[in-house]
Chain A
Amino acid sequence: MNSLVSTFLNPKGGKSASGASPLGEIGGLLAVLAALVIGLSLTAPHFLSAATFTSIAFQLPELGLLTLAMLIPLLSGGLNLAITFSANLSGLVLAWVLKAGGGADAGLLVFLVGVMAAIAVGALIGLVMGLVVAYIGAHPILVSLAMMIFLRGLGEFITRGGDVAGFPPYVVALGQGTLLGIPVPLIILIAAILLWMLILNRTRLGFSIYMLGSNLEATRYSGVNTGRALTMVYVLSGIMCSIAGIVMLARFNSVRVGHGESYVLITVLACFLGRVDPFGGFGRVVPVAISLVILQVIGSGLNLLGTNQHLATALWGATLILVMVIRALWSRLRLDFLFRRR
């Protein structure tokens, strides 16, 4: 039990010195998940049903993709507040290409062009933020905030605040269909998680992101091109946002600017629950992904229990505070203990 608690509460993830091994860490989170599923199936009789799991499997991806988009800036010691609106805007680009290519009759080629354009726009948004953060040295909170205001304005200007709908049927199939019994969006999420693991664990860029997240100057002195790496952080974030935007478009068969606005909080929550260091430099993909499932299960559980959507928002806020407070208390306790033992 102690190891379970400590896995969940240690402030810094991914460091063997802080106690829990990576496997134990993941095990701890999985145990929490299991406890949660058991608890919910006892309290909410309908929880343990195929329908619940299908709904989770379809809801999880958009949140998961946005969480991945938030993760990399957090690791670099920054933040990207513009994730949801970047996703919305990429969705709009795809919608626009589909509309221009024949609306509901648009061919697959048009769709592919649209996806490319959407990803390009996401990357461009990220590139602008990254260049300003990396080479001008402006604060990521400010830059992403300004970008968020701009994108929201741009999106509302283009859509006049309404929905954009009317896409070819195969787009809906992409968002709501299954492949070998697995929801397509979930497959996309899993692919994205694998891609992020590959980038963070197995590339020079990923290595550099962790290093510069802890100390930008020392990393630069070691010969790493930190300007380029920091720019890439936001480009990658932007690309992941556009993938999220495409999945959102496909799932709802429409685009509305402002959709998923409240996700910013949940993505931050998922990252911190997955033991990403708020000051950057530490945090891994798998624990974050498991935390995400935990949050989604809680969300679906609350839904089943008939909880109001706004109450859920408040609960997310309270959970984030609680996790951070308990973590602060826990690390203080551990320190006391260490000192006394010596």
Chain B
Amino acid sequence: MLERFGIGKTEGWLLLVIALICLFLSLTTDTFATLVNICDILNYSSVNIIFAAGLLVVLVAGGIDISFAVGASVVQYLAVSLLIWMGGGNWALGFALAIVIGFGLGALNAALIYHFRIISIIVTIATFNLFFGLLMFFTSGVSIYDLPDWLSRRVILFEHETSVGWAEITLPVLVMAVVVFATWLLLRRLTVGRQLFAMGDNTEGARRLGINLGAMHYLAYGWLGGCAGLAGLMQAHYAQEVVPNALYGRELEVLAAVVLGGARLGGGRGTLLGAILGLMLISITQNGLNLLGISPYAFRMIVGFIILVAISLSGERMGLLSIGRRHVKAAGASR
């Protein structure tokens, strides 16, 4: 029944847990269930959801990437510096630059993974350090505070005054919605997206059907790169500054959330809804801990614990399944 709306087992569980947490927080705090707070969560989560949508594409295609967050920092810095050098620029130019540079960084990963057959985790550990090292070296860790006017001016799409303050929906939310829609279109509605799934599901089968695996690699990592570029731009807009190490470490949070949402390492399985719910679960937990006055230092520990438990539980089903599968495969391959 629920499956008709794309709500599988994982998504169902996540919805339930999120609902319970929301209920608990609404009852124990005054501030959680207010429009202001909900808009805050949405504004804050936008950047991560853009990352998550991109990362999902790579996971579905059977790869992994941990370089995207520092890649986004590189994009931020390069794009903003270029825009300043060009005398300011505008939104259109900003978006274009962010996507193009981001795509380029993703394509570098794709090239190394596809043409030289290096495992994706190794490639992206290397590019992670390459990107971050070069960024910190050339910027000397110096932030850019003096952004072009159009970039630092807040774009408010919706506002509403309440008794506790202004509730606002800002530009990142719109960009997030567009990215999510585009990714949904790619993965569910476009033929190339289905080819991506096919490659992650059964690479040899995809090859035999004549799917262009090289192009699929560039598409997947390039898509993540493009998303990361947009996320970087939005983060700079949201924070109104460019700090070279602001996004350092974000990749783990996002990766964990997407896996929490049911995406499988090794490809072929994963939904956009699951990824978003996984991310929302973490954002809401963080928000709740904050409102409850729990030390921000405890936050990572609790999130890490949740992920560890979730992997162990979901791993059990998948683990047994994969052992069963291995037997089928072995029996099939024997003759």
Q: Is there an interface contact between A324 and B300, defined as CB atoms closer than 8 Å?
A: no
A-B contact pairs, 23 of them (CB 8 A): A137-B318, A137-B319, A137-B323, A143-B315, A145-B256, A146-B256, A146-B308, A147-B304, A149-B307, A151-B304, A153-B299, A154-B301, A217-B330, A265-B129, A279-B119, A313-B136, A314-B130, A314-B137, A321-B130, A324-B112, A324-B116, A325-B112, A328-B118
Residue A142 is within 8 A (CB to CB) of chain B in the complex? yes
Which partner residue on chain A sits nearest B108 by CB separation? Answer: A321
Residue A53 is within 8 A (CB to CB) of chain B in the complex? no
A-B pairs, 6 with minimum CB distance = A137-B319, A314-B133, A150-B304, A153-B300, A153-B301, A138-B315
Q: Is there an interface contact between B297 and A160, defined as CB atoms closer than 8 Å?
A: yes
Q: Is there an interface contact between B304 and A153, defined as CB atoms closer than 8 Å?
A: yes
Partner of A152, one of B132, B302, B304: B304
Which partner residue on chain A sits nearest B313 by CB separation? Answer: A136
Q: Is there an interface contact between B133 and A150, defined as CB atoms closer than 8 Å?
A: no
B137 CB contacts on chain A under 8 angstroms: 308, 310-311, 314
Which partner residue on chain B sits nearest A314 by CB separation? Answer: B133
Bound CA span A138–B305, Å = 16
Which partner residue on chain B sits nearest A85 by CB separation? Answer: B304
Which partner residue on chain B sits nearest A137 by CB separation? Answer: B319
Bound CA span A152–B253, Å = 12
Residue A132 is within 8 A (CB to CB) of chain B in the complex? yes
Residue A39 is within 8 A (CB to CB) of chain B in the complex? no
A157 CB contacts on chain B under 8 angstroms: 295, 297-298, 300-301
Q: Mark B284-324, 1 if CB is under 8 A from A, else 0.
A: 00000000000101111111110110011001101110110
Partner of B322, one of A137, A146, A150, A156: A137
Which partner residue on chain B sits nearest A157 by CB separation? Answer: B297
A143 CB contacts on chain B under 8 angstroms: 308, 311, 315
Partner of B259, one of A142, A156, A217: A142
* Of B12-20, B120-128, B182-190, B273-281, the one touching chain A: B120-128
B31, chain A: closest CB distance, angstroms = 24
Q: Is there an interface contact between B117 and A317, defined as CB atoms closer than 8 Å?
A: no
Bound CA span A138–B125, Å = 21
B119 CB contacts on chain A under 8 angstroms: 278-279
Residue B154 is within 8 A (CB to CB) of chain A in the complex? no
Partner of B134, one of A154, A268, A314, A321: A314
Bound CA span A91–B70, Å = 28
Given A153-B298, A264-B125, A268-B125, the answer on whether A138 and B252 have CB atoms closer than 8 Å is no
Q: Mark A114-143, 1 if CB is under 8 A from B, else 0.
A: 000000000000001000100111110111
Q: Is there an interface contact between B315 and A137, defined as CB atoms closer than 8 Å?
A: yes
Q: Is there an interface contact between A317 and B130, defined as CB atoms closer than 8 Å?
A: yes
Secondary structure of the A contact surface, majority rule = helix
Residue B207 is within 8 A (CB to CB) of chain A in the complex? no
B130 CB contacts on chain A under 8 angstroms: 314, 317-318, 321
Bound CA span A34–B69, Å = 39
Bound CA span A70–B305, Å = 23
Q: Mark A263-276, 1 if CB is under 8 A from B, else 0.
A: 01100100010000
Bound CA span A278–B304, Å = 27
Q: Is there an interface contact between A161 and B297, defined as CB atoms closer than 8 Å?
A: yes
Q: Is there an interface contact between A324 and B315, defined as CB atoms closer than 8 Å?
A: no
B315, chain A: closest CB distance, angstroms = 3
B122 CB contacts on chain A under 8 angstroms: 268, 272, 278, 320, 324
Q: Is there an interface contact between B305 and A313, defined as CB atoms closer than 8 Å?
A: no
Partner of A149, one of B123, B131, B136, B303: B303
Residue B9 is within 8 A (CB to CB) of chain A in the complex? no
Q: Mark A238-278, 1 if CB is under 8 A from B, else 0.
A: 00000000000000000000000010110010001000001
Bound CA span A158–B206, Å = 49
Q: Is there an interface contact between A146 and B129, defined as CB atoms closer than 8 Å?
A: no
Residue A316 is within 8 A (CB to CB) of chain B in the complex? yes
Chain A CB count within 10 A is highest, among B118, B255, B259, B299, for: B118
Within 8 A of B (CB), among A277-320: 278-279, 308, 310-318, 320
Chain B CB count within 10 A is highest, among A138, A153, A154, for: A138
Residue A236 is within 8 A (CB to CB) of chain B in the complex? no
B173 CB contacts on chain A under 8 angstroms: none
Residue A30 is within 8 A (CB to CB) of chain B in the complex? no
B123 CB contacts on chain A under 8 angstroms: 321, 324
